[in-house]
Amino acid sequence: MERQQAEREWERDPERDPEAEAATRALLTDFYQITMALAYWQAGRAREPAEFELFFRRCPFGSSFALAAGLRDCMRFLRTFRLHPADVKYLASVLPPGTDPAFFEHLQGLDCSGVTVRAQPEGSLAFAHVPLLCVSGPLLLLQLLETPLLCLINYASLVATNAARLRLIAGPEKRLLEMGLRRAQGPDGGLTASTYCYLGGFDSSSNVLAGQLRGVPVAGTLAHSFVTSFSGSEQPQVRMLTPASGQGPPRNLSTLTESWLGKVCECLGLQAEEPHPGERAAFVAYALAFPQAFQGLLDSYSVMSFQVPWLEAVSIAVSNNIDEEVLTRLAQKGSEVNLIGIGTSVVTCPLQPSLGCVYKLVSVRGQPCRKLTEDSEKQTLPGSKAAYRLYSPEGAPVLDLLQLEEEPPPQTGQELRVWPLDVSGGDCRSLTLTPASLEPLHRLYFHLGQMCEPIPSLAESRALAQKSLSYLSSSHKRLENPEPYQVALSEKLHALLESLAQSSQEGS
Amino acid sequence: MERQQAEREWERDPERDPEAEAATRALLTDFYQITMALAYWQAGRAREPAEFELFFRRCPFGSSFALAAGLRDCMRFLRTFRLHPADVKYLASVLPPGTDPAFFEHLQGLDCSGVTVRAQPEGSLAFAHVPLLCVSGPLLLLQLLETPLLCLINYASLVATNAARLRLIAGPEKRLLEMGLRRAQGPDGGLTASTYCYLGGFDSSSNVLAGQLRGVPVAGTLAHSFVTSFSGSEQPQVRMLTPASGQGPPRNLSTLTESWLGKVCECLGLQAEEPHPGERAAFVAYALAFPQAFQGLLDSYSVMSFQVPWLEAVSIAVSNNIDEEVLTRLAQKGSEVNLIGIGTSVVTCPLQPSLGCVYKLVSVRGQPCRKLTEDSEKQTLPGSKAAYRLYSPEGAPVLDLLQLEEEPPPQTGQELRVWPLDVSGGDCRSLTLTPASLEPLHRLYFHLGQMCEPIPSLAESRALAQKSLSYLSSSHKRLENPEPYQVALSEKLHALLESLAQSSQEGS
């Protein structure tokens, strides 16, 4: 009951997506963004050119990697960003009376025509401190965008990474079905989860709306309530069955059912009277509705207790509270289980239910800036930056390099001196390395309000994620105690960081 | 910067809520509901009268109670439920080719005009196994409603209960601000969280959209990026300040700032040169924007290290990774902290990120039915039921009673014999008690497609939650190892359960 859906056009034409409504409300932001906007405006700084970076400081779940996701939703948000008259009227009702009406006029005139976004592609491997998004534009507007961009990236990247971990555990062959809609944070939580679990490596979702709106393949079979609803007294509306091949004489359904029930009971070591007649009636009714694609349901508690050799030929689906630990066991069992349904533990990410992406100001009026903090883990890296991924001769990514945007890109085969990021705040030493190959990590997706290149389809992003993961060394890919992936600064960026640290100490 | 908003009309007129779009899509359901629908239809059972109950089997977070929430979203969903031609066309594309077109005609004709819902009011105290919703109507349609109703109730009730726990810890005086939008499961996850945290006892949310669409009071101050954006070289656009009272001569802003900075530094034991000039410029700019409602920002790491007596007169807000443990400490500190901002730990409910509500068939064609299971914790209680809450003479709820709908209601002051639910599956003994007072738990909100009474406003539901909690005994309200609240069956319901258990054993 699983069918690949053609990717839908909406991804390239976001305005046609009816779901866009909820995701693109400009007031989907924290109130302090509005109060800061007023203060910037009062100080005459609303239009100062600024740049923010969106990044996380630690990979989720103790992994050494994450998957970048949510960019498609950000693009949709930015393209349609507008404060409508009703929005501005609402803001006037919650700001102090007497706030200058010119501020509200400024808000009503805002759109993203001055905004530029460089980003890591959907489905990329992403590492701590390397920006997922670099957003530049007018200070006041960029401040308003903080919450919605974080909201759209944080959970999408978290759940895609969670799905990728489960895919790594399951191996490439098992079919993974996401079925967490009922445990998600409301309707859109469920839609986001289904979308990005697929991106992260699941095969399908139970969520029909994700199928309709986002082209995620949908799958599912039947629930207990269906079985419970049959008492056994129901008579099938069909008496004689024509073979699926169309060849041969019709067969008597009742005789067939009795004969197969007898065979199954023999295999399971049960008396033919033991199964409840309602269960038989329910499975017969279901099989009649899906003569070519029947999938039965054994209750979750008893699946594992049967050792039936010919069950191997049957597609077996399991779906009872499957987490990483249970999945590890199921993956070891070889071919017995083909389809694994996972709900709560993929959607709610219980190992770590949120990704702590932050959105930090790195330059204003062309000057690099950084947050003053005593906490070295909370440090930010100043200035507008470029990022490169360096590869070993075998094609494995070995290090992500952050440098100032004005620096020339590093060269393949040329020795580089870099400064590994030391988040523990201890002494940090430089190292030299010679990349066999490299690539820039950011692409220009949005330039002064215009999309520069289309966001790939969900299926393409899913393929990129699986391909990128396949090149990552297994020491980084290990789910428990993985070797941390190195992120380093160029000499110039490192020097800037040092000089800003020094000047802030001198200033104090 | 917090302002009480008038509750908006949308709650009584859901069609006017633009946010309804996302929440009311009929295809927001699991695919297996569709395949089961087809099988019911093929078996000629689509219109059989049925009843489902929606309940949870265990209170979340180890609490002995939960808050019922999400009904307002369910009502909106049911009132507008429709499969549009595009929806049916999509379903045809994912069901087997050759599926009878009459099935799709049936789907397209569906609406909730045959559906009736009894429910516990929004904000009620709710206990395990007592239905939050009793839904009756045609079998096929009720099956389709399973996933959306679970999705709309599960997270709303979970996050409202989480908020109520945090309110119990904080005590009634502290102001609690929900600020988790950036950590929620996408846009609507954030909107749902903000709505139901308020219902559960928070005072306000940072989420502006929740303010606009749902009338939740909004609040917030400023972020680090605002401070970071000032270098200190900025000149305020205002030189002279008029006193807020309007009386007295204008004062020189620069002189005032220096003088107050000196006083603050003296109190904190700092040299006047120590604070960064950018910080001063930022706070001056913010204060100029909010002359009557200034709220400063001390970085989270240093707030607690200062002992400054006159800071008690200042409104102090904290918001750094506050969970139940940290909140317990802050609550003990008395008056120092007035406003507590909580994000991740209220929105993601890390102690238990999902509530396991289920939706079980309890009767079909007027016959009680139950799921066959070996697992006593997963048992369901058969038949259409009524529920009553029994109170002690002091007005404290002592027991929830489930009985068959046709039984006469219990009477105040009259001795009753009841059978406490024993979820552990062990021996279960009856007990007698005499309720000092009692009330029915379910109200008829939706009868054959029509709303029977309006859902109370969010603020009214919030008040009901706080009032109900105030009557609950402290032994049940305790957050760690609370005394379980008793739920019991009437003699008749208990007898029905026994007879069904026996007949299913005899059948096997």
Q: Is B135 helix (H, G, I), strand (E, B) or coil?
A: strand
- Range with the poorest average pLDDT among A132-136, A213-217, B230-234: B230-234
pLDDT per position as a tens digit, B463-480: 999 999 999 999 999 999
Please determine, for residue A427, whether its predicted confidence score (pLDDT) is greater than 80.
Answer: no
Model-level pTM? 0.89
pLDDT band per the 50, 70, 90 thresholds, residue B14:
very low
Of A35, A279, A299, the CB nearest to B290: A35
Average pLDDT, chain A: 85
Complex prediction ipTM: 0.87
Chain B residue with CA closest to A321: the answer is: B356
User: Which of A14-18, A31-35, B217-221, B251-255 is most confident?
Assistant: A31-35
| DSSP secondary structure letters along B231-280 | -S-PPPS--EE--TTS-S--EEHHHHHHHHHHHHHHHHT--TTSS-HHHH
A507 HSE (CA, 13 A, CB side): 15
Strand pairing category for B175-178 and B339-342 = parallel
E strands in B33-169: 49-55, 66-67, 116-119, 125-126, 133-138
Q: Which residues share a beta bridge with B359?
A: B54
Chain A residue with CA closest to B193: the answer is: A185
- Range with the poorest average pLDDT among A480-484, A494-498, B316-320: B316-320
Task: Quote the pLDDT of residue B401.
Answer: 98
Task: Quote the pLDDT of residue B446.
Answer: 97
Alpha carbon distance A457, B476 (integer Å): 52
What average pLDDT does this structure show over A459-468? 97
Is A354 in Cβ contact with B353 (below 8 Å)? no
- Range with the poorest average pLDDT among A310-314, A475-479, B148-152, B492-496: A310-314
Other C-beta atoms closer than 10 Å to the C-beta of A217 total 20
| DSSP secondary structure letters along B298-320 | --TTTGGG---GGGGGS--EE-S
Please give, one letter per residue, the 3-state secondary structure of B322-369.
Answer: CCHHHHHHHHHCCCCCCEEEECHHHHCCCCCCCCCCEEEEEEECCEEC
Contacts of B336 (CB under 8 A, 6+ apart): B311, B312, B316
Alpha carbon distance A42, A36 (integer Å): 10
Is A18 in Cβ contact with B43 (below 8 Å)? no
Task: Quote the pLDDT of residue B485.
Answer: 96
pLDDT per position as a tens digit, B311-337: 445 566 677 788 998 888 888 866 567
pLDDT band per the 50, 70, 90 thresholds, residue A376:
low
Question: Hey, what are B268's tokens?
Answer: 């904190």
Of B86, B186, B371, the CB nearest to A192: B186
Average pLDDT, chain B: 85
B273: closest CA of chain A, how far (Å): 6
Task: Quote the pLDDT of residue A5.
Answer: 40
Percent of chain A with pLDDT over 90: 59
A137: closest CA of chain B, how far (Å): 14
Contacts of B301 (CB under 8 A, 6+ apart): A373, A374, A375, B320
B492 versus B251: the higher-pLDDT residue is B492
Of B90, B212, B507, the CB nearest to A90: B212
CA angle A406, A408, A411 (to 5 degrees): 155
Per CB-CB distance under 8 Å, the chain A contacts of B43 are 234, 236-237, 285, 288-289
Please determine, for residue A486, whether its predicted confidence score (pLDDT) is greater than 50.
Answer: yes
Handedness of CA B23, B79, A211, B140 (dihedral sign): positive
pLDDT per position as a tens digit, A262-293: 887 777 777 777 777 888 888 888 888 887 76
Please answer whether residues B228 and B281 qualify as being in contact, where contact means their C-beta atoms are separated by less than 8 angstroms: no
Is A151 in Cβ contact with B190 (below 8 Å)? yes
Please determine, for residue A137, whether its predicted confidence score (pLDDT) is greater than 50.
Answer: yes
pLDDT band per the 50, 70, 90 thresholds, residue A126:
very high
Label residue A334 exposed, middle or buried (CB < 10 Å: 0-12, 13-18, 19+). Answer: exposed
The backbone torsions φ and ψ at residue B248, rounded to the nearest 5 degrees and listed phi first, read: 90, 165
Per CB-CB distance under 8 Å, the chain A contacts of B39 are 222, 226, 285-286, 288-290
Task: Quote the pLDDT of residue B322.
Answer: 87
- Range with the poorest average pLDDT among A436-445, A477-486, B10-19, B43-52: B10-19
Please answer whether residues B203 and B176 qualify as being in contact, where contact means their C-beta atoms are separated by less than 8 angstroms: yes
- Range with the poorest average pLDDT among A167-171, A195-199, B195-199, B287-291: B287-291
Is A357 in Cβ contact with B35 (below 8 Å)? no
Per CB-CB distance under 8 Å, the chain B contacts of A61 are none
pLDDT per position as a tens digit, B60-116: 999 999 999 999 999 999 999 999 999 999 999 999 988 999 999 999 999 999 999
Query: Considering just the CA atoms, what is the radius of gyration of chain B in Å?
Result: 28
Task: Quote the pLDDT of residue B275.
Answer: 74
Task: Quote the pLDDT of residue B499.
Answer: 86
Per CB-CB distance under 8 Å, the chain B contacts of A219 are 31
- Range with the poorest average pLDDT among A34-38, A144-148, B423-427: B423-427
Of B182, B299, B357, the CB nearest to A147: B182
Contacts of A479 (CB under 8 A, 6+ apart): A61, A62, A63, A165, A168, A169, A324
Please answer whether residues B200 and B69 qualify as being in contact, where contact means their C-beta atoms are separated by less than 8 angstroms: yes
Alpha carbon distance A321, A300 (integer Å): 10
pLDDT band per the 50, 70, 90 thresholds, residue A28:
confident
Contacts of B365 (CB under 8 A, 6+ apart): B48, B49, B50
- Name the one residue in this structure whose structure tokens are 């008749």: B492
B378: closest CA of chain A, how far (Å): 11
Task: Quote the pLDDT of residue B185.
Answer: 84
Q: What is the DSSP letter of B57?
A: S
- Name the one residue in this structure whose structure tokens are 């040092």: A498
A492: closest CA of chain B, how far (Å): 22
pLDDT per position as a tens digit, A42-78: 999 999 999 999 999 999 999 999 999 999 999 999 9
Is B223 in Cβ contact with A183 (below 8 Å)? no
- Range with the poorest average pLDDT among B198-202, B215-219, B251-255, B275-279: B275-279
Strand pairing category for A367-368 and A385-391 = unpaired
pLDDT band per the 50, 70, 90 thresholds, residue B377:
low
SS3 content of chain A, % helix, strand, coil (to 5): 40, 20, 40
Chain B residue with CA closest to A41: the answer is: B289
- Range with the poorest average pLDDT among A8-17, A62-71, B30-39: A8-17
Chain A residue with CA closest to B299: the answer is: A373
B366: closest CA of chain A, how far (Å): 11
B260 versus A153: the higher-pLDDT residue is A153
B274 versus A457: the higher-pLDDT residue is A457
Percent of chain A with pLDDT over 70: 86
Q: Is A247 helix (H, G, I), strand (E, B) or coil?
A: coil
- Name the one residue in this structure whose structure tokens are 């969900």: A458
Task: Quote the pLDDT of residue A203.
Answer: 96
Is A353 in Cβ contact with B349 (below 8 Å)? yes
Is B94 in Cβ contact with A5 (below 8 Å)? yes
Per CB-CB distance under 8 Å, the chain B contacts of A3 are 93-94
Please determine, for residue B2, whether its predicted confidence score (pLDDT) is greater than 50.
Answer: no
Count, residues in chain A: 508
Percent of chain B with pLDDT over 90: 58
User: Which of B46-55, B183-192, B284-293 is most confident?
Assistant: B46-55
B285-313 residues labelled b (16+ CB within 10 A) or e (exposed)? bbbbbbeeeebbbbbbeebeeeeeeebee
Per CB-CB distance under 8 Å, the chain B contacts of A322 are none
- Range with the poorest average pLDDT among A198-202, B11-15, B40-44: B11-15
Q: Is A209 helix (H, G, I), strand (E, B) or coil?
A: helix
Question: Hey, what are A499's tokens?
Answer: 């000089």
Strand pairing category for B49-55 and B133-138 = antiparallel
| DSSP secondary structure letters along B113-125 | GG-EEEEPPTT-E
